[in-house]
């Protein structure tokens, strides 16, 4: 079988797809990664075919835009009209070249609306892959949005009205390039592009476990498996300087605010100062440049990258943005988490982690050295947090890969 993987986003969005691709490849299937140019080396390292959907410049412009981390502008940054107009025909063309009816399936990330266009135009079997629960509307268990908190006393009819209003007056206008392209290739216009249409009618895969989130009013085609915490560790050894740092002292506190973060200087400065206050070692994992403060406190070091699966089990705690990939790796390692959510799914993930008892969160405005130090002291000494982390770590041993692969293989016959 040919499996076409179409994630959209940063490494946190691409990595789980790579994990699925590796597993499907081991079962004898051919894999193609359709992604932005910076991810070609990742495809090559895993012996996948690769098709470029977006240039290096497109990707760099998106992650360099401060609006990416502004809750009021993040979706506008992701769904930039000009980039959408270029990307929509690219994906359809690449899928069309590789589609063999009866032998090819397409897996698309939450943001890959162009994959649903390809499904509607070509009839290719499609699975929509959601890494986080916020990707689906629910009136029963509504997500926590960066700019909207659905109150528990709001009746269900009012919650549905809120979703309808958001689709009709905010999201459909933002996604107008999708409808313009559909008309161009002979497809009809669609209403509620975000809330309803983007979900495959054949298979919606939730790559998070039921104990993290589950709602009875998610799409009818929804099937749930679990976190797939791939992080390139199979292809990359722990960098020698990181290994040396870990070996040189007590377990550090790890700080990372996402692979796409380029504006984290104030947060990393506060993190380093919190380590000084606590007398703890700190390990900053972030793309270098101006966002890394100079003159870090003694015992605090910064590196561009290291596989979380190799670092977190040797760490005291992790401070991060609430991205689902980082979350899954911290859960697997069984360490406490302090979360500073910024945009997208991050506030909702943070809220769910707090409910489960092994994380605390701070808003960006409250992310001061003193507050970070105080909350880290709490979560790293709390008996209840330690117990919750141990319980979840055991649950993370359940492998979601076999069921995920079975569902994808069954898609071929739909």
pLDDT at 37: 93
pLDDT at 284: 92
Residue located via tokens 């689902």 = 324
Confidence of residue 261 (pLDDT cuts 50, 70, 90): low
Residue 63 confidence (pLDDT) above 80: no
Domains of the chain: 2-226+398-411 (3.40.50.2000), 240-395 (3.40.50.2000)
pLDDT tens digits, residue range 329-387?
Answer: 999 999 999 999 987 889 999 999 999 998 999 998 999 999 999 999 999 999 999 99
Most confident stretch, 3-12, 182-191, 289-298: 182-191
Handedness of CA 28, 30, 34, 36 (dihedral sign): positive
pLDDT at 82: 86
Mean pLDDT calculated for residue range 270-285 = 94
Axis crossing angle, helix 324-333 with helix 383-395, rounded to the nearest 10:
100
pLDDT value of residue 11: 83
Asked if 1 and 314 touch (Cβ cutoff 8 Å), the reply is no
User: What average pLDDT score do residues 14-42 get?
Assistant: 95
Burial class (CB in 10 A: 0-12, 13-18, 19+), 72: exposed
Pick the range with the lowest mean pLDDT from 241-255, 291-305, 397-411: 291-305
pLDDT at 259: 67
127, with CB counted inside 10 A (0-12, 13-18, 19+), is: buried
Distances (CA, A) of 318 to 81, 179, 193, 260: 36, 42, 36, 18
* Percentage with pLDDT > 70 across the chain: 97
- Per-residue pLDDT at 60: 80
Label residue 34 exposed, middle or buried (CB < 10 Å: 0-12, 13-18, 19+): buried
Instruction: Say how many C-beta atoms besides its own lie within 10 A of residue 155's C-beta.
Output: 9
Q: What is the pTM of this model?
A: 0.91
Least confident range of 60-74, 184-198, 226-240, 306-320: 60-74
Q: How do residues 206-232 score in pLDDT, each as one tens digit? A: 999 999 999 999 999 999 999 997 877
d(CA 60, CA 407): 34
pLDDT given at position 298: 86
């Amino acid at each position: 079988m040919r499996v076409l993987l179409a994630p959209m986003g940063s490494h946190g969005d691409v990595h789980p797809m790579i994990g699925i691709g590796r597993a499907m490849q081991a079962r004898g299937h051919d894999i193609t990664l359709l992604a932005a140019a910076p991810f070609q080396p990742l495809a090559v390292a895993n012996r996948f075919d690769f098709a470029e959907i977006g240039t290096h410049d497109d990707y760099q412009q998106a992650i360099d835009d401060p609006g990416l981390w502004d809750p009021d502008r993040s979706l506008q940054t992701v769904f930039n009209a000009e980039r959408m107009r270029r990307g929509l025909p690219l994906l359809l063309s690449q899928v069309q070249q590789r589609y063999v009816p009866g032998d090819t399936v397409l897996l698309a990330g939450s943001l890959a609306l162009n994959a649903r266009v390809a499904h509607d135009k070509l009839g290719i079997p499609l699975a929509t892959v959601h890494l986080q629960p916020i990707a689906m509307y629910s009136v029963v268990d509504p997500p926590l949005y960066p700019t909207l908190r659905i109150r528990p006393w709001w009746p269900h009819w009012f919650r549905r009205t809120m979703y309808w209003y958001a689709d009709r007056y905010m999201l459909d206008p933002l996604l107008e390039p999708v409808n313009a392209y559909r008309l161009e290739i002979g497809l009809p216009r669609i209403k509620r592009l975000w809330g309803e249409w983007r979900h495959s009618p054949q298979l919606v895969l939730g790559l998070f476990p039921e104990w993290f989130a589950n709602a009875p009013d998610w799409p009818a085609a929804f099937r749930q498996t679990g976190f797939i915490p791939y992080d390139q560790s199979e292809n990359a050894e722990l960098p020698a300087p990181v290994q040396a740092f870990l070996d040189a002292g007590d377990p550090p506190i790890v700080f990372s605010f996402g692979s796409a973060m380029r504006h984290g200087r104030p947060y990393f400065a506060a993190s380093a100062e919190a380590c000084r206050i606590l007398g703890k070692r700190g390990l900053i994992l972030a793309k270098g440049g101006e966002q890394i403060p100079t003159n870090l406190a003694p015992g605090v070091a910064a590196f561009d990258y290291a596989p979380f699966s190799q670092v977190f089990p040797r760490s005291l705690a992790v401070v991060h943005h609430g991205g689902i990939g980082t979350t899954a790796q911290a859960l697997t390692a069984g360490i406490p988490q302090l979360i500073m959510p910024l945009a997208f799914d991050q506030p909702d993930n943070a809220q769910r982690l707090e409910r489960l008892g092994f994380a605390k969160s701070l808003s960006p405005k409250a992310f001061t050295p003193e507050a970070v130090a105080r909350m880290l002291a709490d979560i790293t000494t709390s008996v209840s947090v330690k117990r919750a982390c141990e319980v979840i770590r055991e649950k993370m041993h359940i492998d979601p890969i076999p069921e995920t692969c079975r569902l994808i293989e069954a898609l071929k016959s739909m």
